[in-house]
Every structure is written in structure tokens, then in C-alpha cells.
Amino acid sequence: MIEPRLGHPNLGLGVGLRTVHYNYILEKNPKVDWFEIISENYMDSGGRPGYLLDQISERYPIVMHGVSMSIGSSDELNFDYLRKLKKLAERCGALWVSDHLCWTGVAGLNGHDLLPMPLTENSLKYVVDRIRVVQDCLERPLVLENPSTYVTFTKSTMPEWEFIARMAEDADCGLLLDVNNVYVSSFNHNFDPVEYLEAVPHERVVQYHLAGHTNLGTHIIDTHDGHVIDPVWELYRLAHQLTGGVSTLLEWDAQIPGFPVVHAEVLKARRYMSLDEGQDDSSTTESPDGVGLDVAQIRSHSPLVENGKVTVPHPAAFVVAEAE
């Protein structure tokens, strides 16, 4: 039996809160276990975004997920940012606060891309020290997500799974295991995703992310623009077995369909839990809200293809659009 992660509960199956779904959620009160918000979309927002978040956080558990902490940057930590983050967590009663193992800018500039770190002894010590400072400032454990990456550093001396495992132990932080990111990076860098999942400290995994991506043949871009593919679901099944099951969240950031479709996608996760227990898996693609879903419409959803060309927007582009 694996102990609860940093005391955090398994919230069940949640959905990333996106502005296009505000009205549906507030009118229909869908039976969603929990929502994850993008922290930056609310940190400097009073007015309508804050009001809507107040409404939703009164009805659902909320978890905060940030994209600008830049824990791996050579810049000083931004304490003004951290103060705002803490204030928002108090306002919405966030159960935990997460961000990415990455850097997003340097020299005070935010590039809005989640860029990889060199994986060395020095960078490990550097990021561990910064995580400890952040945790002291926030007065709660930080939860960090494995990024999807497209380049590596020749000076790296260890695989990402070893870096993340040692980081979590040394900094005493939590992990957000993005199963799709493991798949994307394993494809891009030709490593074994199963080895990755087996190596991370399972008792520190607080949450999973699931998402769709765009496969361009030579590499995969983490576009969050469609359904979760079967190999990623199979990795989720393994992760579920290894951890005993933790809070699971679907990210859908581009070509966003109606809320019932997004919600139904995360509910598919039940199949990959129930099969472990020998149960029937035939119960999904049914709307959680009692709204009949068009299965053909779900299946026909495809990556962004216009005039035969694949366009590949980065998810951060949509975060910025929401933040503005």
C-alpha cells in the first residue's frame, strides 16, 4: 500500500478549467470531481475572472497549475510572483500548487515557453535549493511537472527520470506526472517511457496529466488539441498500477470542444483502472451530464490540419491569450 502523497487526497477525475466552458459549468453544474486552473489567468485579475473563479471554487475542489515560476531559470526567484501565487491559493482554497520543471525566461523576460534544463549535478542542486525557497515562501509543498521537450543538452549527465526522482527526494516536493509528456519526450528523444514511469518515486506523485498531442512523424508536439491516444492510455494504466491511483486531470487547450466531450475524455480513465480489477470497460463515451454524445464527432476530431498543412501552436500561446 502506497502512502498518500504529501497528505494530498486522490480527488478523482478532473478537467482543466478553460474560459470557453465558464457558462456551461455555471449553468449546468456538471458532476466533475475537480478543476485545475492556470494560476496566471487569475493572479492579476480582479473583476470578472476573479468573480467567476469564486463561483466555481465554491462548488468544486480547485488545484492551481502555473506556467511562469521559471524554477530552472538563472534569474532570481520572483518573490512578487510568489506572493501573488500564495494569495490566489488562499482565495480559491487551492488544494495544491504546481508548476513545471523548466525555465520560461531570463533577464526578466518571459518567453512563455516551457524550456528544458540541463540535467547535471549542478543544475539538480540549483533547482532543489530554489524549490525549498519556494516552499518556504508558499508555506506548502510545491508540486512539479515533468515537461515535454524537443531538445536535450550535450552536457546532461543523467536521464530526466533520475533527475526528477532525486529532485523530489532532495527537495521534499511532490510530482505531477504528465503521462502524455513522458510519451512525447520518449518519442522525441528515443527513450523507454516504461523505464521512466518505473523510476519516478511513486509515493511522491500527487497528480497525473493527460492530453492529446500532434505527431509530425519525425517528432511530436505537445499541442493539447485532441483526444488522448491509446499508447498514452496504456502508460496511464501502468502509472495507475504503480502509484495505486492519484488525482487525474485532462488538459485540452486548442480546438477545445464542448464541455461534455472534454469531461467524457477524462472519464475514459476509468477503463484503465477498472480493467485492473477485472471489471467491464464498456461504459464510457457517455456524457457525464446526461447529454448524449455524438461518438462519430468525438472520433473524427483530428489535429489541426488546414489545407493539407499541420499547424502546431504551442499550448502556452493559449494560456497567454487567456491571461490577456
**50-58, 204-212, 265-273, 289-297 -> range binding Fe ion (CB under 5 A):** 204-212
Given the complex with Fe ion, which of 21 and 209 has the nearer CB atom?
209
Where is 98: in which H helix or E strand?
strand 97-100
Cβ-based neighbours of 3, under 8 Å, separated by 6 or more = 203
Given the complex with Fe ion, which of 73 and 181 has the nearer CB atom?
181
Give me the least distance between CB of 24 and Fe ion, in Å please: 23
| Secondary structure of residue 73 in the 3-state scheme | coil
Query: Using CB under 5 A, which of 202, 204, 209, 213 touches Fe ion?
Result: 209
Given the complex with Fe ion, which of 224 and 263 has the nearer CB atom?
224
**Long-range contacts of the stretch 157-160 (C-beta < 8 A, 24+):** 157/119, 157/120, 157/121, 158/119, 158/120, 158/124, 159/119, 159/191, 159/196, 159/199, 160/119, 160/185, 160/196
Give me the least distance between CB of 258 and Fe ion, in Å please: 22
Given the complex with Fe ion, which of 209 and 268 has the nearer CB atom?
209
Given the complex with Fe ion, which of 211 and 293 has the nearer CB atom?
211
Given the complex with Fe ion, which of 33 and 253 has the nearer CB atom?
253
**43-51, 189-197, 206-214, 255-263 -> range binding Fe ion (CB under 5 A):** 206-214
**31-39, 102-110, 178-186, 236-244 -> range binding Fe ion (CB under 5 A):** 178-186
Binding flag, residue 160, Fe ion (CB under 5 A): no
* Count of all residues that appear for the chain in the document: 324
Give me the least distance between CB of 26 and Fe ion, in Å please: 25
Given the complex with Fe ion, which of 175 and 293 has the nearer CB atom?
175
Cell digits of residue 247: 488525482
**74-82, 135-143, 170-178, 282-290 -> range binding Fe ion (CB under 5 A):** 170-178
Binding flag, residue 204, Fe ion (CB under 5 A): no
Cα distance between residue 89 and residue 63, in whole Å = 8
Give me the least distance between CB of 146 and Fe ion, in Å please: 8
DSSP 290: S
Q: How many CB atoms lie within 10 A of CB 4?
A: 12
Given the complex with Fe ion, which of 98 and 110 has the nearer CB atom?
98
Give me the least distance between CB of 313 and Fe ion, in Å please: 16
Number of residues that bind Fe ion (CB under 5 A): 2
Query: Under a CB-based contact definition with an 8 Å cutoff, are residues 86 and 114 in contact?
Result: no
**176-184, 237-245, 283-291, 301-309 -> range binding Fe ion (CB under 5 A):** 176-184
* Angle subtended at Cα 316 by Cα 165 and Cα 263, rounded to the nearest 5 degrees: 80
Give me the least distance between CB of 179 and Fe ion, in Å please: 9
Cβ-based neighbours of 243, under 8 Å, separated by 6 or more = 2, 177, 202, 203, 205
Binding flag, residue 213, Fe ion (CB under 5 A): no
Binding flag, residue 178, Fe ion (CB under 5 A): yes
* Angle subtended at Cα 23 by Cα 61 and Cα 297, rounded to the nearest 5 degrees: 95
Cα distance between residue 164 and residue 177, in whole Å = 10
Count Cβ atoms within 10 A of the Cβ of residue 167 and give its class: 0-12 exposed, 13-18 middle, 19 or more buried: buried
Give me the least distance between CB of 251 and Fe ion, in Å please: 5
Cell digits of residue 227: 483526444
Give me the least distance between CB of 23 and Fe ion, in Å please: 25
Residues contributing to the site for Fe ion (CB under 5 A): 178, 209
